[in-house]
Structure 1
Amino acid sequence: MTDPPNNADRVLVLAESIFDNTAAEKELAELDEVLLSDAGSRKRYTDYCRLQVALRIELRAQHAAGNVHRRIGIETAAAPLADFDGSGDGAPFSAPLIHPTRGYFKKASSGIIGYFSQELPLSLLIASAIMGMAILLAGHIEVTHRQIAERSSPSPSGVEPTLVYVGRITGIAGVKWSEDPNYIPPISVGVALGRKYKLKSGLLKITYDSGANVILEGPCSYEVDSTAGGYLALGKLFAKVGTGGEGRGTGEVVSGQLSVTSVKEEGGRMKAEGNRPNVDSLATRHQPLATNPSPPSPLPSPLFTVRTPTSVVTDLGTEFGVEVDGRGYTVSHVFHGVVRMEMIGGGENAVLLLHENESASIESYGGSTVTLAKKGQSGDDSRFVRRMPPPSKLGVLDILDIVSGGDGLGAARGAGIDPSSGTKAVDLLHGPPIDGGGYRTVDWNPLVDGAFIPDGKAGDVQIDSAGNVFAGFPATTAVTHSPIWARAADVSPTEHARYKTFWMFNALGNWQYMPKRRGLLAMHANVGLTFDLDAIRRAHPDIVRLHGFHAWIGMMHEKGNAEIWAFADGMLKYHRKELVEVNGGVSIDVPLNQDSRFLTLVVTDGDEPSRDQYDWVVFGDPVLRVAIRQPEQANPTTKNEKEEKNKTR
């Protein structure tokens, strides 16, 4: 048993593995938990990412200085610079080693101009100017562990393409990006042509500049290949495109609304009858425009279109969903309005118009035969997510209130749990040590699973009602000296007079254990307490996620020495040896995930078991950190909705 690594040091190790592209999924999950539960670690990680960005920009700055030297004919003392983008004939780029020359140490008698015309000062001047701007910009970049800047292949001309942005990310919920090692998740909310979004799970909402909204549901692969649509290779997509000008392209059709009869298919191109020229629609081609060396202005496209491996689904003023399975077969469902669904390579008869509540699919019959079939009226298809979940805010549940019988939202104190029986303790009474007897369920409190007295001599010790056991506890006296107790921060004179001889009331002025003034969870060695996280979720349906447990642990007797343990579903998450009084208040964070069912806190002897009567351990200000769903706000009535209501009056 060893002390757990410091969170800040562990964050740097995990961050380094991410920048080296060696991080495994387990390490990414570990970093998620640490960053969610510890503000100090988040700051350390952000600083590290900014440093990495600044260092990389510094390398580019030195390379730029070298280019300037060559252009103005200055010989440098640095190692030869290869082309940074790898497009030249030199070796792969490495940081230049700048060697000071004798000219750098000459007297400044030649004046400022002469000084800065020397090779090294000029190089440093240029690099410093660029670096200063880089640091200023880097300070405004928010980076997460999965959002490493995209690496793009250089164009033959050596000029990197300019991105054309056609929308932005306006919602994200529970997204886990694809584990494809060749995929780099987006670093910003801007949506560029050619950008691919590959989700392992979760929801992502994209709002095009035209106003069209798309919700992607993972697993999903979607590429933004036009100003009004994209290519769905896998997964589910829901699109909401407003009638009239709302949510449509900005082509020559003013309203952006074409009648069904005015659209004809001619050799893969859309043609709207009238005096306007043909519009080169992207509906039937798959070509990411963002890779062009000199990107043109986005092509006008009046219709929002979703392409799949087997079909083209074109909006005619609708809300619709599209699903593509692993074979590339497509299902489309219309919630409102009309869509045009065409089977790729299917000829003239492979086109259907779908109206409200109608569905159609492209699927295989008899092996190689692929057909487009309308499924008729199918009602409101629930397979598609049509609205992003409401945003959440961070909050806490009060552990002391839960131990006292509350739901975590109140401030109940002055009660506890007898670990030998699981019954409620409503008073503190002096008596003999409390003996063990196995795991005891706490039937009177639905949010507490059970309590126990650990003893390593017995071998495996059960720590929750699911039967999870732990065999690493030390040998103890198998007794504790008081019930588990929830003590208020501010003790009334009456309560103090009644309980002043009990150990947990000896620290009335020791605020180091409870800086938030919530109170103390008193757990005298040897004792364990398990909370039922599933029951807590059921009691609070607005909780989106349990992030973790937080408290300040402390030893309240100068002769005490204890070990602190914390488990999630039987897995050890935190362990500290030799907690003594001189440590003061020690912050503890126990990360939890969405599937965690139990949280277990344990206190055992830290040295000689015969001295366990001094092991007075408290958990100060104990809370569960949670994400709470915020109430949805009513959507404002749009102009078109108001006009429709006025027509019906």
Structure 2
Amino acid sequence: MCSQDHQPRGIRMSQGNPIPSNFAEWIVRSLDGTISPEQFAVLDHEITTNCEARAYYVEFITTYVGLMDLVGSLPKAETLMGANEPQTRRETSSRIVECPAPKAQGRENTDAPRVGPETSEEERIRRIERYASRQLAAFLAEEQRAQLQSQTPAARWDLWSGICEATQAAQRFAAVGARLVKTATICLFALGILAALGFYIYANRTLGILVDSANAKWEVPIDQTGKLRTGLMTLEEGYARIKLKKGAEVILQAPSTFNLRSANRMFLESGWITAKVPPSATGFAVKTPDAGIVDFGTEFGLLAGNAGNTEVHVFDGRIDFERAGAGSAVQPQRLVKNEAMTVAANGQTRRVPVQQRPHLFARTMPARDGLAIPGKRLSLADIVGAGNGLDTGVWGQGIDASTGQIASRRTILRKNDNGFMPVPSLPFIDGVFVPDSNDGSAIVTSTGIRFEQCPKTSGTSYESIVNGATFQAGSSGEVHYGQLAGRIYDTRANPSIGMHPNAGITFDLDAIRNAMPEAAISRFHTRCGVSENVVSFAERDADPNTIEVTFWVLVDGRPRFSRTLGVVPAQSEQIDVSIGPRDRFLTLATTNPGAYRYCWAMFAEPALELMREKDAGTGREAQ
């Protein structure tokens, strides 16, 4: 163990391990780069093996560095050597690289301590310390003089000095300004990156998921994972069922454009939805360009049409309905189960029972093999059955052509012509009529358009116009499904309209367009004829060769198709009529000059073909 006794000043002395007399010189030489390998070896040995020498070395180095920082000049190794020492000892070995320590500018080392071989070690240390003290005192005195001089005001001021000072001040100000600008730029850049990152995370958060679809075609394909994020999405064809994160389930019917705003809010720009809202999603809100709905745990359907046309049906629970722009003073209207609200383009609202409105909304996902496909094809037979053209209507339901009243099933009428009769409960149907020209041309639209080519008939309608062509043979009550070209039309996948003469129905194409503003109507097609299975029944008490019906297709009162068809031999015709954007009314009619028995007339798979509104006029139709 090294001794812990220290002398307060000078070299520590130890009787067992004395410090060599040249130890301080070797330290200085090691610092200024003039130490020889032999001297360095001895110095290293002493520091390694002699704890007294090691402690002295640390204290010496600390003092040396402090003085170097303050004074800038320290004694050379030669000043610690006696003047009478041999020249060979004071010469620097040729193997030593000179690395002199820097001197303070303008200061010479003239009073460096001189020591000889007869000088004791304690005296050497005292001389070095006195030298260091003088150097430090001189340095501090010089610094004080410089400070006093800098504080002394100038004797006089001149223009050039003022210009220089102003220039320097401007340069300092410009430098500070440049630093501030750089700092602000960096901060703004960092904030911009953080804002962009935050916006990216916000915009790409998952708000819902695609659960199911049928015949769906999206304008931009949905992520394969089915995750739905914020941003406008357009369902161009088919159905889709989505589920928002809070639990609300929404069935979309094309064409529909929507945007998920949050885990429990959405914006419906246009289209049809049916929402089922569990208790966990109470408060689910839907906005449209013209209305807003807040749900309180219910099931409802919403149609956002063109030019402000809006309709909402409440199937269960209750909702608050509010028109856009109504102002805070107007309270939302509360709708409860089995109530409906319609908003016309002129802003007029009407509250009615759901039962008095058509079946506009799909409450369950439909079969994938139906004729009607949202955004692609509408079934006119379904519209006759009080549907929206997408298989929501009632199979077997019909309309009395002489009164415009809804008939819950196929009905034998034998009623006379009462003129054109509107059907206000079915918005896609303009009206019905019994075609006859005995008293002049028949009126076929609510706007008074006449059917100038209408033939003379008995003026009697014998059966209702029905969704699903079914016919009764005699008084047996037995019902038979219509058949054309060897095919029976008895399902939603194979729909038909039964239209025993004399009867006519007019569809309002503009009303259909307003309900689906993103779709354009391009064509109407169907197959018409007298049901082929009537022959076996007519042979019992009639001549099948006398059974004939004339089929008509009118657009705005002008015939686009007219053909008289019989059953011997079996006859049917395919109809394909183009529909322009300005065509307003589509009319189907059947006529017979007098004999009415077994005239089982029908239109098989009557459909309106749709195309995207943005493709209208480009020649591209839905495939």
Is TM-score (shorter-chain normalized) higher than 0.5?
Answer: no
- Name the TM tier (shorter chain): 0.3 to 0.5
TM-score, normalised relative to structure 2:
0.34
TM-score, normalised relative to structure 1:
0.33
Structure with the greater alpha carbon radius of gyration: 2
